[in-house]
């Protein structure tokens, strides 16, 4: 019933569980003391005449009751404190571990988990684990120990009653175990439906414009209703299971206590058990079952938390790219006989060898699916070759310190993210001590100086997903930010995709200017952008088919020349149509 992997996530915070359980047991002893004191007071009151009406006899049991009430109060307060502290510390450390894991994964995607799912697990999932750690685990240990302690106390009074009560107690965990297998499946489906509904909602909101344009919002609405209905049904199954389980535990708890009380009363009538001891046994009988009854209630919360916890563990256990400790001094990058497959069946790269010098413009081109993106991921260290090597300055990439390597590397792509901050703050992410003069200089290079100056200056806030600027302006702003960063290696991954001709021209002029002093790597499907490259790698089906300058490759009249000619004819045809219109 205790997941060791989840318990292991607590680390040093496990000591708060011991403190909590210890205080709960102290509270149990205080309850026993209060019950004993009450029974003693009743016994003295009933036999008051036999004790010559001596009121001082009430002092000792009254003091015992008062002390035990104080102990019970203090222990309850500290139990609440340690539970709260355990929950807060567990949440804090889990979120830190998740964040650190995502950072260590770097630019690699989290396998099998969408952004909505990742957010739900990191936020809601951690909240559910808070209850698992602060309520379920302490209650588990307490409910296992308290019946044994009570048995040791009551067995000296009447072993028959104590034995009956102890034998009835395991019926509650047996009922929990019987439900647990079904509960695990239900909660696994619950979290699956929950994250699926979140994914669908986020997807629909992000694509709302397209849904309206295609008049598909009604169909999408119906689909979301279906997801919501599925989630409602699985939620109702969870509630029905919880209600049924609670009812069963109540029957066992109160039935067991009733059997114990009946045996105690039978002892008074037939075995001469003193009524005060019988009263003590009757009052204590329910204490045998209440801890396990509370544990059963926490069990359902725990199953939900455990399901979320297993998703968190699966994220934490994802393999990370291997990095070393060597610093980067030379920035020449080489791929040497690199082979890589995503599924183990079809090679995305097959014995690929490339060289990207410290200075100059190198292009990797080819049709979609040829392996360009895989090459980019190899350069970032996101993917590692199954055979062959990626070296930087002659050193294997996996032996380099990641921070040292990334300090030399910049990327501008078609989807480079611009943060929902001011223009100045976005530049400060790349260079914390950047001056306004440096920012404006970079903006001038990408032909954005006038636009920014006239629209709020450097205090202009870029909206989420850069919705208040055009696609071309967004990519030029991304380029300007990376220019300020002043890196040694610049990777342009489809950086001119889906933008206007003016923006494309500005970006390509900056790329060529950069290549005079930096290592510039251009990944593009549009061959007109790489005509001025110092070296071009043309790829097909994961292999390098041609290597050379633009002139050398066009003179070869092979795959590159055919693709270039086709694109050129298409662009000329589009231009002619535009002019006629």
Residue 565: CATH number of its domain:
3.40.50.300
Domain assignment present for 121: yes
Reported as a single tens digit per residue, the pLDDT across 88-104 is: 888 888 888 888 877 77
Q: Are residues 330 and 308 in the same domain?
A: no
Q: Are residues 244 and 390 in the same domain?
A: no
pLDDT-derived band at 578 (thresholds 50, 70, 90) equals very low
CA distance 429 to 444: 19
* Buried residues in 306-337 as b, exposed as e (16+ CB within 10 A): bbbbbbbeebeeeeebebeebebeebebbbbe
Q: Is 366 helix (H, G, I), strand (E, B) or coil?
A: strand
Q: Are residues 229 and 349 in the same domain?
A: no
The pLDDT mean for the chain works out to: 81
Range of the domain at 328: 322-400+520-581
Q: Can you give the pLDDT at residue 121?
A: 67
Q: Can you give the pLDDT at residue 576?
A: 47
Which of 7-11, 20-24, 341-345, 413-417 shows the highest mean pLDDT? 20-24
Q: How far from the centroid of its chain's Cα atoms is residue 543's Cα?
A: 37
pLDDT-derived band at 493 (thresholds 50, 70, 90) equals confident
Domain assignment present for 462: no
Q: Is 295 helix (H, G, I), strand (E, B) or coil?
A: helix
Domain assignment present for 200: yes
Q: Can you give the pLDDT at residue 53?
A: 65
Single residue among 316, 333, 366 that ends a domain in this structure: 316
Q: Is the pLDDT of residue 52 over 70?
A: no
Furthest CA-CA distance within the chain: 125
Q: What percentage of the chain's residues is helix, strand, coil (to nearest 5)?
A: 65, 10, 20
- Nearest in space to 400 (alpha carbons), one of 482, 331, 337, 354: 331
Average pLDDT value for residue range 355-360: 90
HSE-CB at 268 with a 13 A cutoff on CA atoms is 14
By CB atoms closer than 10 A (0-12, 13-18, 19+), residue 358 is middle
Q: Can you give the pLDDT at residue 115?
A: 59
CA distance 439 to 421: 15
Reported as a single tens digit per residue, the pLDDT across 56-90 is: 778 888 898 999 999 999 999 999 898 888 888 88
Q: Can you give the pLDDT at residue 107?
A: 56
Q: Can you give the pLDDT at residue 75?
A: 92
Q: Can you give the pLDDT at residue 187?
A: 64
Q: Are residues 80 and 134 in the same domain?
A: yes
| Percent of the chain residues past pLDDT 90, beyond the cut | 11
Using alpha carbons only, give the angle 573, 548, 406 rounded to the nearest 5 degrees. 95
Q: Are residues 308 and 348 in the same domain?
A: no
Q: Are residues 348 and 263 in the same domain?
A: no
Domain assignment present for 94: yes
Reported as a single tens digit per residue, the pLDDT across 113-159 is: 555 566 666 776 777 777 788 888 888 888 888 888 988 888 888 88
Q: Can you give the pLDDT at residue 73?
A: 93
CA distance 117 to 62: 58
Q: Are residues 242 and 355 in the same domain?
A: no
Q: Can you give the pLDDT at residue 304?
A: 67
User: Torsion angle, CA of 31/34/35/40, rounded to 10 degrees?
Assistant: 160
Single residue among 297, 316, 335 that ends a domain in this structure: 316
Q: Are residues 163 and 196 in the same domain?
A: yes
Q: Are residues 122 and 263 in the same domain?
A: yes
CA distance 49 to 82: 48
Q: Is the pLDDT of residue 235 over 80?
A: no
CB 259 within 8 A of CB 282: no
Reported as a single tens digit per residue, the pLDDT across 533-563 is: 999 999 988 899 999 999 999 998 888 899 8
Q: Can you give the pLDDT at residue 577?
A: 44
Q: Can you give the pLDDT at residue 487?
A: 86
Domain assignment present for 555: yes
Which of 200-204, 318-322, 447-451 shows the highest mean pLDDT? 447-451
Q: Can you give the pLDDT at residue 78?
A: 92
Q: Are residues 212 and 302 in the same domain?
A: yes
Q: Can you give the pLDDT at residue 581?
A: 47
- Nearest in space to 341 (alpha carbons), one of 283, 383, 288, 312: 383
Q: Can you give the pLDDT at residue 286?
A: 81
Reported as a single tens digit per residue, the pLDDT across 25-35 is: 999 999 999 98
Q: Is the pLDDT of residue 579 over 80?
A: no
CB 361 within 8 A of CB 534: yes
- Count up the domains in the chain and report the number: 2
Q: Are residues 271 and 343 in the same domain?
A: no
Domain assignment present for 93: yes
Reported as a single tens digit per residue, the pLDDT across 388-411 is: 999 998 899 889 888 888 888 888
Domain assignment present for 405: no
Q: Can you give the pLDDT at residue 49?
A: 64
Question: Where residue 9 sits, what CATH number does that domain have?
Answer: 1.20.1560.10
Q: Can you give the pLDDT at residue 548?
A: 92
Q: Can you give the pLDDT at residue 323?
A: 83
CB 554 within 8 A of CB 382: no
Domain assignment present for 454: no
Write the DSSP string, 376-431: HHHHHTSS--SEEEEEETTEEGGGB-HHHHHTTEEEEETT----SSBHHHHHHHH-
Single residue among 264, 297, 316 that ends a domain in this structure: 316
Q: Is the pLDDT of residue 356 over 60?
A: yes
Q: Are residues 282 and 364 in the same domain?
A: no
């Amino acid at each position: 019933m205790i997941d060791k992997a989840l318990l292991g996530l607590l680390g040093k915070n496990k000591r708060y569980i011991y403190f909590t359980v210890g205080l709960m047991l102290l509270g149990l002893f205080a309850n026993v003391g209060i019950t004993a004191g009450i029974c003693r007071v009743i016994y003295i009151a009933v036999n008051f005449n036999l004790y010559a009406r001596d009121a001082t006899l009430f002092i000792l049991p009254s003091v015992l009751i008062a002390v035990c009430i104080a102990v019970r109060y203090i222990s309850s307060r500290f139990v609440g404190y340690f539970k709260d502290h355990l929950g807060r510390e567990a949440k804090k450390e889990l979120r830190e571990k998740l964040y650190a894991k995502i950072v260590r994964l770097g630019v690699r995607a989290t396998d099998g988990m969408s952004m909505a799912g990742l957010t739900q697990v990191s936020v809601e999932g951690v909240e559910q684990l808070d209850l698992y750690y602060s309520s379920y685990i302490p209650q588990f240990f307490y409910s296992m120990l308290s019946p044994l302690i009570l048995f040791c106390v009551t067995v000296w009074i009447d072993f028959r009653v104590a034995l009956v009560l102890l034998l009835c107690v395991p019926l509650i965990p047996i009922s929990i175990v019987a439900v647990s297998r079904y509960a695990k499946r239900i909660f696994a489906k619950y979290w699956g439906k929950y994250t699926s509904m979140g994914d669908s909602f986020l997807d629909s909101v992000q694509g709302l414009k397209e849904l309206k344009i295609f008049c598909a919002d009604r169909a999408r609405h119906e689909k979301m209703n279906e997801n919501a209905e599925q989630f409602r049904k699985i939620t109702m199954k969870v509630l029905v299971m919880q209600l049924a389980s609670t009812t069963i535990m109540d029957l066992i708890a109160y039935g067991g206590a009733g059997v114990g009380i009946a045996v105690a009363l039978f002892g008074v009538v037939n075995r001469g058990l003193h009524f005060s001891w019988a009263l003590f046994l009757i009052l204590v009988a329910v204490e045998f079952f209440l801890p396990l009854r509370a544990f059963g209630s926490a069990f359902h919360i725990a199953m939900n938390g455990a399901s979320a916890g297993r998703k968190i563990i699966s994220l934490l256990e994802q393999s990370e790219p291997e990095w070393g400790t060597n610093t980067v001094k030379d920035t020449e990058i080489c791929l040497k006989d690199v082979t890589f497959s995503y599924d183990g069946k079809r090679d995305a790269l097959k014995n690929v060898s490339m060289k990207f010098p410290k200075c100059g413009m190198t292009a990797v081109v080819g049709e979609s699916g040829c392996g360009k993106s895989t090459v980019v991921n190899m350069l970032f260290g996101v993917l590692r070759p199954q055979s062959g090597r990626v070296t930087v300055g002659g050193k294997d990439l996996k032996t380099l310190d990641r921070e040292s390597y990334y300090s030399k590397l910049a990327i501008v792509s078609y989807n480079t993210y611009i943060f929902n901050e001011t223009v100045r703050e976005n530049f400060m992410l790349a260079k914390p001590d950047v001056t306004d003069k440096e920012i404006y200089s970079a903006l001038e290079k990408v032909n954005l100086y006038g636009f920014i100056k006239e629209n709020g200056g450097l205090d202009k806030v870029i909206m989420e997903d850069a919705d208040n600027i055009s696609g071309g302006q967004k990519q030029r702003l991304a380029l300007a930010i990376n220019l300020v960063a002043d890196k040694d290696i610049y990777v342009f991954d489809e950086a001119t995709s889906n933008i206007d001709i003016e923006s494309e021209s500005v970006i390509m002029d900056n790329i060529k200017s950069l290549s005079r002093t930096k290592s510039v790597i251009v990944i593009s499907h549009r061959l007109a952008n790489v005509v001025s490259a110092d070296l071009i790698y043309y790829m097909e089906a994961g292999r390098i088919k041609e290597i050379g300058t633009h002139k050398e490759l066009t003179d070869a009249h092979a795959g590159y020349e055919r693709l270039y000619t086709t694109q050129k004819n298409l662009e000329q045809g589009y231009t002619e149509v535009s002019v006629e219109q």
